[in-house]
Each structure stands twice: as structure tokens, then as C-alpha cells.
Structure 1
């Protein structure tokens, strides 16, 4: 609501946001980033979703309504002044390694792990690996409305332990983060989804990214440090701080960056993820998307595509429950579930003459829910005002496949179209496994950027 209130205030219209008790610290930080340090709100005591009607009515009438009236008719209290922050090339600390790390922790510039000191000479080494000027502005990131620059990309890359030659990948990631389609402003939302970075192109072997066994495990410098860079950049530039603007209920740690096994993909004649996203064969790309969780199908067995893909269809449905609201409800057609499959699975499927497009069509037909369950998830479990599938089809809001009959047991897809499934070939070449992710919809929509080595 604060973003809507800021728009009203900018237009000269008085406003009063509603903020529940658990989000007060986030509201304080967000209004600073929006450039409205005095933006008022009225407090909703506790959490409305777990209060009885009488309790909620009492809290609203006793606390919330008087706050709204005061905000719209009285004097607004001054907000906190913006905190001073260092200039781009300012030296912020002099001293030993241990003291420096403690200083960065105290300033909330660190993720709690030791960081590499971002000295001028180390930053210069990163800048030497990009054609972009150090002061070039890549974009402006919410919630702090701070500029993403090539300079602060290099600073956080040093801190994360990256090698200087990763700099083009880091710049592309900052460009992706700043892309409005991705929705960086939602990085601290309740589900605590974490971004997965997927690489394609010749940069994978050139820079030493692992794309085989243990691809999601830390222990490989390129994969590990690039993944860590993402979370540091969210913290230090976008401004997502735990207990403040990052309000993930449980949260997850950062994910290591993964790479597609392009040698295996070429051998079976499939397209890479980068090509699926509209780039040319041989382009170096990074794709980002935010996922709320994932699960593995271990030791998949079968000699036909149908036998093997049944595991993926089942797993994708199990990882997609409340997230159906990104297909119908909060979003329309914005769900992009992801399946990682090992090379031996892809080879077995391709040997039967199936393309990646055939795989996606199978998943579209088989990764489905009964219509009554889909509607229950929207209506009862996520309390969405939009939940009637047949009514949405009649209104022309969703595809006809959601109301091919009036049978409540009819099976409906979790996505609008086969191409909305994302498939990546990676992992142990000799294991028969898959890994399925539940997607966070438009609150972390897939975005791909070219890496300019």
C-alpha cells in the first residue's frame, strides 16, 4: 500500500496506508526508499487473518480508524532522516581483516560470512573485465531506490569472493535485477522465495562453472560466489535487510548459480534455456527467476518418455499449490515452473524422437489438478476474490481449457500453455533424476540477459 500512497501524495492527494504490526519496520524503511519519509500509515493490530470477527472489529475501531482520521486531518509526524551512506569511492574502514569484517557486520553490509575486503585495487581488477564505465547507472532498485552502478557491482563481486573475470556475468545479473519484469521490489515478500541463476553459453567452461554432478552444491568457486553475489547485491544496493525490508516468514539462504550442460543438450538436438528465452545459439546468457521451493525426484525409472515424464508432472504439481494464484487470481498466466533433468533422462527421451517442445506438451497435459481443488486453493486457502474458473473463462480472462466441462473433477493445467514450463538439462550425467521448482509468479518473473565477455 505504501507505493500506492506515495503515488497519491505525489499527486497532492492525502493518504493513509494500513500496516499490520509485523510490517512496521519494513514500512519505515520503504517510505524512505520511496522518497516520502513522512508517508503516514495507520496500524492494524496483530494479524487480521487469525483474529475473530469481534476482536478484529475492536482493534480496527479502537486503533486503526483513529489513526486513519489523524493521518488525513491532522499534522503528520516527521519520519526518520535518511541515513548517511558512503560515496562510491570513499574509504569506509582502515584496519585489520577481523576488525574490517566486524565493521561490515555492524553496518549490515555483510551476510554474516567473511567478506573479501573491497579495496580500490581489487575493484579496479574487476572493472578491467568490462567495457562499461565504472559510473554507468544500470538501473534504480527498490526498496531503497538506490542506483545500481558498474562500480557497486564490482564492489559486491569482490566482497562475495568472485574472480575478476566473472565481472561480465555480474553486470548482466544487475541488469536482470533492474528489469521491471523481474520485480525486484518483491524480493523480501512473505514466501521467502530465492532467485536461481542459470547460465548458458561458452562462458560456462571458460569461467569454470560446474554443470554436472553436484550442480546445486557449493564448492565450485564460480557457481558459489556468483550465487552469493546476488544476495549481497540485494542487501547492499537494493536494500533488503532482515527484520526490516526483508519480511520473508522463514526465508532461505542464497542459491549457488547453476549452468546448463550444453554439450549434452547439443548432442540430442534440443534447444538450451537461453535459446528458449529468445537468444541465439552460442550467446552467453544469464536467466533469473525466483522460486519458493523445490523437490527432487530421485532415481526415476522407465524406458519411454511417458514413464519418465510422469515423475516430472507429479513433482511439478506437488511444488505448485498456493502458487496457482499466479495463473488465476493475483496474476494471470504468470506461472513459470522449472524442471531440471539429468542428461541421461534427456537422452532417453530424445532417443524416442521427442523434442523439448514434446516434453512441455506432455507436462501441460499431465501436470494438472482437479478443478475443485484448484478453486479451493484460490478461494479457501489463499482467500482470493477471484476463484471461479468457469466464470473467468466466460469473462475472457483465462484460456478455455480451464472450463471444457462443468465437471468439478475435470483436470485443469497449472499453467496457461506448454511453453510456460521451463526445462534445463544439468546435473550428474549418469543419474536418473529430476528437480522441480515452485515458481513465485510475477514476483520474480524469469528474465534473461546477454553476458558480454
Structure 2
């Protein structure tokens, strides 16, 4: 192929406008314009990965398309990824392909969840990722938007995750365009991937969740228990999947709020335990009269007592704590999970060279 020809077999185009229209016509995009995956762009990404272009990472559901390094590079090129971004994309895809993530279920469910890509460690600053204002909408930075967009295009083009058939998501999720955030280096606790047992300096975590629900600190004082109670209340939504099926959930603290908690003696584990003890609902409030208790609740839940308080996760460590966002005022947020159905967090190490020239 010539340097300016797409790596996928498509009719020849002469202008970028022709390419954009062709991409829409051929269903290569979900509505937003994409870059042409030229041979030069794809080769640069593959070379940066240090992997063989034909290396197969797995099959992307629901279609089962072959996720070779070259195919993933083509989609990353369409998303505008630079070579230094590509290792994050590859690691995220590898994480999503682990069985416990249940990628097929995540992309085809009626529930509005989507894989959130969370990058943590020194690579955040090496890639110049946004981690302050507007972090969940890209923050104006290239890396996070391109990485999140690449994952979406991979699931769209390789996996065939298109609305109607086979995707049955009833309301949708704004993060389906691009859903990637960076953890702030200004937080007081170890980065997320290290808290999850990955010893590398930098890492990527995938977790299928809803878009963030903000939690302001109206009416609270400086006492950590009162502030965390505000967050726990938002976690235990009566109609939420977590409240009925447990699973995993993600909570966000701005760096200044995380430091406040840390200065009051709260490490990440203490925050998780406090929230786990508070974010609960009465069985009598969850189930209409006459309905039997759920058979997926663990044995230690006294399901026969309507006053039993059921936590939103089975264990404190199933509450994932992320530090990100601006520091203008303290803030918190909740990203509800899919419950016990899947989308569970998976973390992978990033190569020490990721983000380096």
C-alpha cells in the first residue's frame, strides 16, 4: 500500500472529506469523524508497541473479531492516537478480554455502563493527560480523549458493538464516545493500580460503570465521617444495580478532599471500610412485600429480616477509590457499576517506557 492509503481495504479517496464520508458510509464510525488509518500511521503505532503486527490478543465480542496488534493500531490511528498512547490502548484491551470483565455482557447489556479506562502513575504526566478541570470530558488534552476513543472504535469496528443489534443498551452512555480518565499525581494515597496489587510504577485499570454522579458537600462539616456519609448516601441508590446485586462500584475524590481525609487519618482502606459500612439499604426498602430475597446475596446476609442492611458491595475492597479532578473546591462523585453481572475492575502494568520518546 502507498503511504497515504488506508490499511483496511477501502475504495481510494483523494481528500480528507472523501475519507470522512466513506467512513460514515461504511459504518466505520459511530457518527464522529475519524482519521484515515494510513499505512504510515499504523506502522508507527505498531513499531512503538514493540509487538509483531500479527500478534493476536484475542477475539473482541460480540462479533468475535480478531484483535491483532495491526488491527488495533488501525483503529487507534482512526482515533488520533500517537505512538506513545498505543501501549495504554493495548493494555486496556488485554484487561477487558479477561473473563472476569465479561466484555460481551458489558457491550450488549441494557444497562448504561461502559468500560472506563483509568490511567495511573508517572505515565499520566509523561503523556500529558488531563487530571484536573473537566477530567471526565477529556480536559482538553489529547491523550485521554484519543485512548478512550480508540477503545470505542475497537469495540465498534472489531467487536461489532453497534446499537440495535447486538447492543441493547436502553438509554446509552455519553462515555461510549470516549471514556478515559487519569488519576491525579497530587493524591495522598498510592495510585489505583498499586492499591489493586500491580507493583509497576504506572498502570491501567478498566472498570465498566455509569457516568459520574456528583456529590457536593452541602450541609457537612470537616468531620470525615459526615463527609463520607454524604457520599455513601449517593452510592446506595434504591434503584441501582449495586444496591440490589452488589458487585463493584467506583468513587472519586478531588485531590484536596483526598488530602483532607488523609490528614484526618484515613488511608484508602479506611475510606473503603467506612463507605462499605454506610452505603447500605434495608431489605424491606429494596423488596416489595411478598417478594422473595435474592438468591445471589451471600449467606451472611440475614435475608429473612426486613431490617437487615445490605451493602452495595460484598467486600470493602470492591469499592474502587480514584483521586482525580480540579482543586477549586472539594468534591466527590460515584460511578455505579453493573452489579454482580460483570464489568469488574481489571488492572494491568504499563511498561516503564510507555509515554517516553
**Cα deviation, residue 271, structure 1:** 2.6
CA deviations on 1:97-153 (whole Å, 9 max, x unpaired) are 112111111111112111111010111111121111111000112211111111011
SS at match of 1:225: helix
SS at match of 1:440: strand
Report 1:145-224 matches (<5 A). Answer: 145-186=64-105, 187-218=107-138, 219-224=140-145
SS at match of 1:312: helix
CA deviations on 1:206-230 (whole Å, 9 max, x unpaired) are 0111112221123211111111111
Query: TM-score when scaled to structure 2?
Result: 0.89
Report 1:14-413 matches (<5 A). Answer: 89-95=7-13, 96-186=15-105, 187-218=107-138, 219-253=140-174, 254=176, 255-262=178-185, 264-265=186-187, 268=188, 270-280=189-199, 282=201, 284-299=202-217, 301-318=220-237, 321-327=240-246, 335-376=247-288, 387-388=292-293, 398-400=298-300, 402-403=301-302, 407-413=305-311
Measure the CA separation in 2 of the matches of 1:190 and 1:115: 27
Measure the CA separation in 2 of the matches of 1:351 and 1:90: 54
Measure the CA separation in 2 of the matches of 1:322 and 1:171: 29
Shift of the 320–422 alpha-carbon distance from structure 1 to 2, 3 Å rule, reads farther
- Structure 1 vs Structure 2 CA RMSD: 2.2
C-alpha contact (below 8 Å) 2:255/2:326 kept by paired residues: yes
**Cα deviation, residue 375, structure 1:** 3.3
Measure the CA separation in 1 of the matches of 2:217 and 2:230: 10
Measure the CA separation in 2 of the matches of 1:293 and 1:375: 26
For structure 2, the residue ranges without an aligned partner over 5 or more in a row are 1-5
**Cα deviation, residue 281, structure 1:** 5.3
C-alpha contact (below 8 Å) 1:319/1:438 kept by paired residues: no
CA deviations on 1:405-443 (whole Å, 9 max, x unpaired) are 954223221211111111111111232111101101333
C-alpha contact (below 8 Å) 1:313/1:363 kept by paired residues: yes
C-alpha contact (below 8 Å) 2:276/2:313 kept by paired residues: yes
Measure the CA separation in 1 of the matches of 2:287 and 2:197: 34
**Cα deviation, residue 238, structure 1:** 1.0
Equivalent position of 1:68 in the other structure: none
Shift of the 440–196 alpha-carbon distance from structure 1 to 2, 3 Å rule, reads same
**Cα deviation, residue 446, structure 1:** 1.1
Choose 1 or 2 for highest CA Rg: 1
C-alpha contact (below 8 Å) 1:399/1:416 kept by paired residues: no
C-alpha contact (below 8 Å) 2:24/2:31 kept by paired residues: yes
SS at match of 1:129: helix
C-alpha contact (below 8 Å) 1:93/1:100 kept by paired residues: no
Measure the CA separation in 2 of the matches of 1:258 and 1:90: 29
Measure the CA separation in 2 of the matches of 1:145 and 1:189: 17
C-alpha contact (below 8 Å) 2:7/2:38 kept by paired residues: no
Equivalent position of 2:318 in the other structure: 420
